[in-house]
A and B are shown apart, each in its own frame.
Chain A
Amino acid sequence: MFNAEKFIEKTIPNLQKDIQRKALIAFSGGVDSTVCAALVNKAIGDRLIAVHVNTGYMRKNEPEQVKQMMEDLSLNYRFVDASKEYYAALKGVEDPEKKRKIIGEKFIRIFEKVAREEKVDYLVQGTIAPDWIESGGGLRDTIKSHHNVGGLPKDMKLKLAEPLRDLYKDEVRKVARVLHLKVSERQPFPGPGLAIRIIGEPTPERTELVREACDIVEKEIERASEQGLMERPWQYFAVLIPIKTVGVHGDKRAYGNTIAIRAVQSVDAMTCHYSTIPHEVLDTISTKITNTMKEKVNRIVYDVTNKPPGTVEWE
């Protein structure tokens, strides 16, 4: 079996050997990049600069929470608010692969800029096995371009360090537990963020909708899991489907968007079973979303697709 202590023992000296000068890490606040940052920080101390980019597609209160995490880890960090730039770049973009490529490329350009200012030569990324497996290349078919693999521009000038490349999520969590990182049980969140949880153009207005819906789904499912009503899923969130349907609010006709509830069970994200959410919990989520977002959302659906044939995220 995978041994997290041994992995840490082996990885730190390798990082020390490879990274002679300064390194930069793309810090999202998720399990992968946090474990990566903690390892590289152990290896080279404050020669590591953590950069967090607020793309505007983060979840509710997430930018503030990530800032706090970087403080707690005593990282040497930069916080870049690029939300306006991202919204502008994704204006009119509907194709999921285009969204991923644009977001990936922008990430790299921002990191390159900080890298130039800080004179770093290494880019550290929390890429894990399913990321590069699904990104295709060689014989493999591209299922999705993960932002940290397929989105990499060909003329990138930084050297790449990916210490978690051969690990799966459950193994990364084991490493996180050994390092006593609070983030170890956090659910995965994709790099392109809420942009790929909005089918169609990810406008700021639609982002607000899906952000609010995701927050309700997360809170209600976490509450239900804590109360023992259901097993905590591997991943759980809302997807905005900008298809309008007719509803009735009071005696008035309503015509609003649709939100899909997605929750899956998995060990490594390579195969997933949709989570069985008790009807009472679905009911609470449905009522909360439609009541708090009544002008915009008046229909809730529950996604019962496994992977395969589906993937966890819709785009």
Chain B
Amino acid sequence: MVRIFVIDNGGQWTHREWRTLRDLEVQTKIVPNTTIFEDLQKEKIQGLVLSGGAPRIGLDGSLGNCAEYLEKADFPILGICAGHQFMARFFGGEVKPSKIPEFGQVEMTLIKDDDALFEGVLKKSIVWESHNDEVTVLPKDFVRIAESENCKIQAMQHKKKQFYGLQFHPEVEHTEYGEHIFKNFIQLCEE
């Protein structure tokens, strides 16, 4: 069984991420973002999910020890919402309040169609959103994978590492390919 932990940044849906992983037979646990990296290593984890956060935390919050994880991890990391925004800032991108924030149902378009995380996902699909801020400048080591009408960076990936950032929420029931995306992420962690 693969071991993937969920780092809790205080999001409303942290528990949903845990549940989706648990339902897919992953050994998983929600841990606070103050956990030190060494303790995660001791747990022999193979992947990490950085949860969404309390309001505006992605904009300028430090998100506990998330920086340390991004600096040291040699396993895949999936940043969601505030986790994604923090990932972008950490690698030199920019996060700003959205001109048009998105809440609820949004149509997402894949720009890059050979991405492992989105394998089997249709070019256009329904995702659910809940954000006031967004990544406005992509970090230079990243590629853009998906966009929506009002948010150009819905998904991004590090060019060399298995680090992914998603602005939308794959963990909620109403995101069409949510579970599918998690399955793909689990596969990346198993490899």
Q: Does any Cβ of A come within 8 Å of B123's Cβ?
A: no
Q: Does any Cβ of B come within 8 Å of A134's Cβ?
A: yes
Min Cβ gap B136→A in Å is 22
- Interface segment out of the listed B12-20, B90-98, B110-118, B148-156: B12-20
Q: Are B54 and A270 in contact (CB under 8 A)?
A: no
In Å, the complex CA distance between A307 and B55 comes to: 16
Q: Are B15 and A133 in contact (CB under 8 A)?
A: yes
Partner of A271, one of B11, B19, B128: B128
Q: Are A271 and B172 in contact (CB under 8 A)?
A: yes
> With contacts defined as CB atoms under 8 Å apart, how many contacts are there between chain A and chain B in the complex?
56
Partner of A139, one of B10, B13, B16, B19: B10
Q: Are A168 and B53 in contact (CB under 8 A)?
A: no
Q: Are A271 and B174 in contact (CB under 8 A)?
A: yes
Partner of B173, one of A129, A139, A271, A308: A271
Residues of B contacting A: mostly = mixed
Q: Known: A168-B19, A308-B103. Is A141-B10 also a contact (CB below 8 A)?
A: yes
Q: Does any Cβ of A come within 8 Å of B120's Cβ?
A: no
In Å, the complex CA distance between A1 and B10 comes to: 25
Q: Does any Cβ of A come within 8 Å of B23's Cβ?
A: yes
In Å, the complex CA distance between A1 and B21 comes to: 10
Partner of A270, one of B22, B23, B129, B173: B173
Give per-residue flags for A126-159: 1 if the beta carbon is below 8 A from chain B beta carbons, else 0.
0001100110001111010000000000000000
Q: Does any Cβ of A come within 8 Å of B133's Cβ?
A: no
In Å, the complex CA distance between A170 and B141 comes to: 42
Number of interface residues of A (CB under 8 A): 22
Q: Are B55 and A141 in contact (CB under 8 A)?
A: yes
| Most A Cβ at <10 Å: residue of B13, B22, B103, B104 | B104
Q: Are A306 and B105 in contact (CB under 8 A)?
A: yes
Q: Are A129 and B12 in contact (CB under 8 A)?
A: no
Partner of B12, one of A168, A266, A270, A273: A270
Q: Return chain B residues, CB-CB under 8 Å to A267.
A: 173
Nearest chain B residue, comparing its CB with the CB of A266 = B173
Give per-residue flags for B1-13: 1 if the beta carbon is below 8 A from chain A beta carbons, else 0.
0000000111111
Min Cβ gap B130→A in Å is 5
In Å, the complex CA distance between A1 and B20 comes to: 9
Q: Return chain A residues, CB-CB under 8 Å to B104.
A: 306-309
Q: Known: A2-B23, A133-B15. Is A139-B105 also a contact (CB below 8 A)?
A: no
Q: Return chain A residues, CB-CB under 8 Å to B22.
A: 2
- The chain B residues found within 8 Å of chain A, CB to CB, are 8-16, 19, 22-23, 33, 53-55, 57, 103-105, 128-130, 172-174
A-B contact pairs, 22 of them (CB 8 A): A2-B22, A2-B23, A129-B15, A133-B14, A133-B15, A134-B12, A139-B33, A139-B54, A140-B10, A140-B12, A140-B54, A141-B10, A141-B12, A141-B55, A168-B19, A268-B173, A270-B16, A270-B173, A271-B128, A271-B173, A307-B104, A308-B130
Q: What 9 new A-B contacts, CB under 8 Å, besides A139-B53, A141-B10, A270-B12?
A: A139-B8, A140-B12, A140-B54, A267-B173, A271-B173, A308-B103, A308-B104, A308-B130, A309-B130
- The chain A residues found within 8 Å of chain B, CB to CB, are 1-2, 129-130, 133-134, 138-141, 143, 168, 266-268, 270-271, 273, 306-309
